[in-house]
Structure 1
Amino acid sequence: MRFAEFFAGVGLVREGLESSGWQCVWANDISADKMSTYVENYGGDHFYLEDIWKVAAEADDILPKNVFLYTASFPCTDLSVAGSRAGLAGAESGTLNAVLNILKEKKLANDLPKIVMLENVSGFLTSHGGRDVIETVKTLSELGFVVDIIELDAALFTPQSRPRVFLIAVIKDIASKFMLLKKSEDLFDTWWQRYDEQPKLRSTKLKKLIASNEQLNWGLFDIPLPKQRTSTLEDIIEYDIPNDSSLWWSDDRKNHLLAQMNPAHLAKLQAMMDSELFSYGTVFRRMRAGVSMAELRTDGIAGCLRTPRGGSSKQILVRAGNGELGVRLLTPREYARLQGVRDSFILPNNINKGYFAMGDAVCVPAIEHLSKHALIPIFKCSQLT
């Protein structure tokens, strides 16, 4: 089961796929820092450090042949609510078009992968009123793929709120043996009904997008919800950080954070401090009406991790109880645990690079889940043809 990964980052898609038997034969990213972490963990004999557009221009010479699966966790910058919302017209998220160009070249060379899996933020579904994702599906349909779109939140697997969209495209002759294909004569509601009971995997927003573009090559995987998550924020914390560590904030810095909280969040924090037992929460700074506000979360789940392009993008941990309050940033290792990454995974020595490594990566158990219930069954179907 050979796969190639575009926008490989530090290798968390690979981390999720290799655990179920996939073999990575080629990987690409433009970031030398991310490549360094990738190579530390997996070796670098198959890693190609280059701009994806240059890869697309020389795809026949660069890419290996007879690869079953392509994955692409392309940049979310122009699709994210926190970004410019330029969509696939943007310089960063628009790099998906380079991958689509590679697929067009591969079709001409009769060397298309049998599966393509794209991953991005939920904004992929709403960018330019949904036109960006529909144009992507249209291109894949023209290339002979059948497409399903799955919405998976990391919170189903780890204590991190991280909704993501996974677009899985399968060559039609294989898809017809495993997926429920939408045929032109099928009533939409009849075709969709079997899977309409999984709103956590396919939202009403997605349903409307598909319903208004029935002519494209749509198919559905029968993917179950994962088992109920039992882990909480407290399960990912590094408890061996001593109280006198410089990682813990000074009183002045803590007071500045408290000054950014509204009364409701301050009341929640005070209740934590008044308890005889220590408890934990996370704080994320957000702009509200042009003012930076510190918002406390105490439901045992961290907010969505981001890359540290500014101080406000780093997630803050609070520990409160017995009248005490401790505040520090989550560590890169805690970030990694929130992404479902094993503790033996080698992180960068530089803390900020560690945040970058994990902040825009994928949740490993989500990849494992999709591999088990979609990618591997498709591969097995292909062996029967």
Structure 2
Amino acid sequence: MRFIDMFAGIGGFHLGMEQAGHTCVGWIEWDKFARQSYQAIHDVEGIWNASDIRTVRASELPRADCWCFGFPCQDISVAGKQKGFTAGKRSSLFFTVTGLIRDLEEEGRPSYLLIENVKNLLSINRGFDFLKLQIELDEIGYDVEWSVLDSAEVVPQHRERIFIVGHLRGRRTQQVFPIVQGNREVNRREDATNTLTTRYGEAQGSGSYVVESEPPQVNQIGNISMSSSFGGNPQVGRVYGTNGIAPTLSTMQGGGQEPKISITVSNVARIRKLTPLECWRLQGFPDWAFKRAKQAGLSDSQLYKQAGNSVTVPVIKAIAERMKLP
């Protein structure tokens, strides 16, 4: 399939879709540093692109079978002001995308929409925002399915995100959810969130995610006193072990907010931050992608931020493999 990568970031959608055999025909991203990484990582020479989706006209978009987008979540995330995706200036860009679809004749509309956002989209404003999203997609001709997937099933990072697939009525698209691996349905945990069944170590290109040891652990083993320097927020001072699953990566803006792990070197324990490369690995990016971004001149602070803002590549790949047209 041909796809357009909107709110593209560093191209987590691009890489996952490409690994599943699909082809990028266009991308949109406004952040200059993310664009710098995107162009360094992906082969985008001659591919249509734009920097601001608000200035794009439907007539200039290349024809595509799928539009991929994780619209901004700052107005939805539990870490933000939670204005909602209709009232918030950034998350309401969802309606900019649907407006472009409204401006297209039916034959020019994508058969699939692949949408990602934080899990809180389901419950913010008592669920009314998610209902508005479904109504909007219904009005422009799309039937929807969705699932909450945890990245911890394909990379060693606990990261729950909602994925929404829109199917244009009248097109022969394929149902995506639930994700099935090895002839069995996805596991259902006690908290009722769906998870992929591909485990760490089985995911393509996984490998070792922390240089000295195993992936960082979600189980907290301590807290360093510097947390008081960040407004008393204990999260930034938490220290994790070295076996298991890492906490959800954030944009990690501001010194000292990167996840911290305790490792043993020559029988002596020490605490250190995860490196930018390790954070990219936790999002499923191959090392060559990180190296291209680093060589393009990106600072460590930008590389941390870009990892936290990205989608998890193997999750996108698992979904994209289920998206087919006759």
TM-score (norm 2): 0.82
CA shift for structure 1 position 104: 1.2
Residue segments in structure 1 that go unaligned for 5+ positions in a row: 182-194, 207-223, 241-256, 262-284
For residues 220-266 of structure 1, the C-alpha deviation after alignment (integer angstroms, 9 at most, x for no partner) is: xxxx94233348x99212349xxxxxxxxxxxxxxxx63358xxxxx
Q: Which amino acid in 2 is paired with 1:96?
A: F
Q: Which residue of 2 aligns with 1:238?
A: 211
CA shift for structure 1 position 173: 2.5
The counterpart of 1:145, out of the listed 139, 142, 145, is 142
Q: Does the 8 Å CA contact 1:38/1:44 hold for their aligned counterparts?
A: no
Distance 1:205 1:151 in 2: 6
Matches within 5 A, 1:79-158: 79-88=76-85, 89-106=87-104, 108=105, 110-158=107-155
Residue segments in structure 2 that go unaligned for 5+ positions in a row: 178-183, 214-222
CA shift for structure 1 position 115: 0.2
Matches within 5 A, 1:1-385: 1-42=1-42, 43-46=44-47, 48-55=49-56, 58-60=57-59, 62-65=60-63, 67-88=64-85, 89-106=87-104, 108=105, 110-174=107-171, 178-179=174-175, 198-199=187-188, 204=192, 225-230=196-201, 235-239=208-212, 258-259=224-225, 290-292=232-234, 294-298=237-241, 300-311=244-255, 313-320=257-264, 324-345=268-289, 346-348=292-294, 349=297, 350-373=299-322, 375-376=323-324, 379=325, 383=326
CA shift for structure 1 position 72: 0.5
CA shift for structure 1 position 68: 0.4
Distance 1:169 1:234 in 2: 33
Corresponding residue SS for 1:344: helix
In structure 2, relative to structure 1, the CA distance for the partners of 1:40 and 1:178 (3 Å cut) is closer
Distance 2:285 2:170 in 1: 35
The structure whose RCO (Cα within 8 Å, separation 6+) is larger is: 2
Distance 1:312 1:126 in 2: 31
Say what the alpha-carbon RMSD is for the aligned residues: 3.2
Q: Which amino acid in 2 is paired with 1:59?
A: A
Distance 1:365 1:48 in 2: 24
Distance 1:117 1:70 in 2: 6
Distance 1:306 1:76 in 2: 12
For residues 293-343 of structure 1, the C-alpha deviation after alignment (integer angstroms, 9 at most, x for no partner) is: 522333521111111322353222321366522222211110111011111
Distance 2:148 2:20 in 1: 21
Determine which structure has the larger helix proportion and give its number. Answer: 1
Q: Which residue of 1 aligns with 2:216?
A: none
Give the number of equivalent residue pairs. 300
Q: Which amino acid in 2 is paired with 1:100?
A: T
Percent identity, aligned pairs only, is: 26
